[in-house]
Structure 1
Amino acid sequence: MGLEQSQHRFHIRQKLTPMANRYVVHAAGPDGAEGDIVAFAHQKRMALKERITFYTDESQRQVLFTFQARQIVDLGATYDIHAASGTLVGRLRKDFAASLLRSTWHMSQEGAAAETTGVERNRAVALLRRAWNIVPFVDLVPFAWPYHFDFAASERPVMSVEKRLGLRDRYVLSIHDEHLDRRLAIAQAVALDALQSR
């Protein structure tokens, strides 16, 4: 089973390798546990112009969609998500000013009228994460405490992303809007990990 628009819940796990970040995306099974792999993401580290390629599985033989920054390293960069055919699916943008206190993202689906805004739910955890990030050699010890993002358009819930407790980066993506393109939702969920320090 591949990625389907009818799927509403996904599990995302980061896999660290020396030269790249990789993310495995599973659809949630009927019992809520990890089901089939529906996407596999590959992000090269230290790239000047951020690009993440999503494949249908870990073999990396078939591209599902791509995610690329419009500019070279930019704190307020816009990221375009394209289908394997090259068609624009949507775009993501981190709100740099708002994110100084609480991470905030804007997500736009191609053809949709309203922009979706995602905000870190807990202010105290947001401040704790910022304090953690200024500690020397912090990358050696991941931030283990859970945190949540809620995305809404015109006060209507669209999706949420929850980081699970633990040293390994594991997330649960829950989609509340049946019209939200699953590729855009997965790209945004991965961006919350891969681009959080940008």
Structure 2
Amino acid sequence: MKFIEQHQRWYCHACKQYAPKAATGQPAAPQQPIAPVAPQQQVNPLWTQNVYRIRKKVLTLWNKYWIEDQQGKILGFSKMKMFKLKEDIRIYTDENMTTELFAIKQQQILDIWGTFAVVDTQDNKIGYIKRKALASTFVRDEYEVYDAYNRLIGGIYEDTGRGLVRKYVPLGGLVPQHMDLTLNGQKIATINQEFKIIGDIWQLNCIAVPPYLDRRVLLACLLMMGMIERSRK
């Protein structure tokens, strides 16, 4: 007999056949069932659209904001009191303000127009917005966008020429804003302001926003712009 390495068995030349395999004494391991694939978490269709509008109405003590889709359907509502020392902005489904959608929370009371966390209804952080105070005060409005783990992922920048006009030319504050959102150097969204005498409208156009960037973070930035415009005017 000869042991054949290829088959790991003994071969009998006289009988021209392989010898039977030796029993190992160990039963074959039962086959494990394949675990079912967990379904993907459903994303609220409110936050998967490509065009949003934020409409602001200025009142005596309150500013009201409506989040709308491209057709003008109201998706959210927020009411902010003027002259608050610390901003804690709540966005609701409608003017009854009974069902909250998300919130924007200022991180430090003395960090004026600084860092804001965007949180869901379970108080989970979904992103951060930070206004670059020095550049925004003297040159143009700039914001940094952070993910839920507070990692810098992008920025929102006003056109430099338009920003200088808005800051230093008389009545320049009436010039509408235009801003680009960039991610890794690529433009993924634009923000355009439409000036109104008693209020303003901002439109967010999502060109190539990746799935991991929650659009509520971008809407939070638009609401912050409304707050800043409120103080300028």
- Fold-level similarity (TM above 0.5): yes
The equivalent residue for 1:51 is 88
What is the aligned-residue identity percentage?
23
1:155 corresponds, among 185, 188, 205, to: 185
**2:202 is the counterpart of 1:171:** yes
Rounded to whole Å, the distance in 1 between the matches of 2:150 and 2:124 is: 15
8 Å contact from structure 1 (residues 129, 143) kept in 2: yes
Cα distance change of structure 1 residues 165 and 45 upon mapping to structure 2, 3 Å threshold: closer
The equivalent residue for 2:156 is 118
Q: RMSD in angstroms over aligned alpha carbons?
A: 2.3
- 5+ residue gaps, structure 1, are none
The alignment's TM-score, normalised by the length of structure 2, stands at 0.71
- The superposition leaves residues 147-174 of structure 1 with CA deviations (integer Å, 9 ceiling, x where unpaired) of 2010101112232110014433111111
- The superposition leaves residues 90-127 of structure 1 with CA deviations (integer Å, 9 ceiling, x where unpaired) of 11101112222011100112158651101102x23211
**2:109 is the counterpart of 1:72:** yes
The equivalent residue for 1:81 is 118
User: Which structure 1 residue ranges, 4+ long, deviate > 6 Å from structure 2?
Assistant: none
8 Å contact from structure 1 (residues 91, 107) kept in 2: yes
- The superposition leaves residues 13-53 of structure 1 with CA deviations (integer Å, 9 ceiling, x where unpaired) of 10112222111010113xxxx2x111112222111111211
More relative contact order in 1 or in 2 (CA 8 Å, sep 6+)?
1
The alignment's TM-score, normalised by the length of structure 1, stands at 0.83
Query: Which protein has the larger Cα radius of gyration, Structure 1 or Structure 2?
Result: 2
Cα distance change of structure 1 residues 194 and 59 upon mapping to structure 2, 3 Å threshold: same
For residue 72 of structure 1, give the secondary structure of its aligned residue in structure 2: coil
- 5+ residue gaps, structure 2, are 1-43
Report the residue type matching 2:183 in the other structure.
A
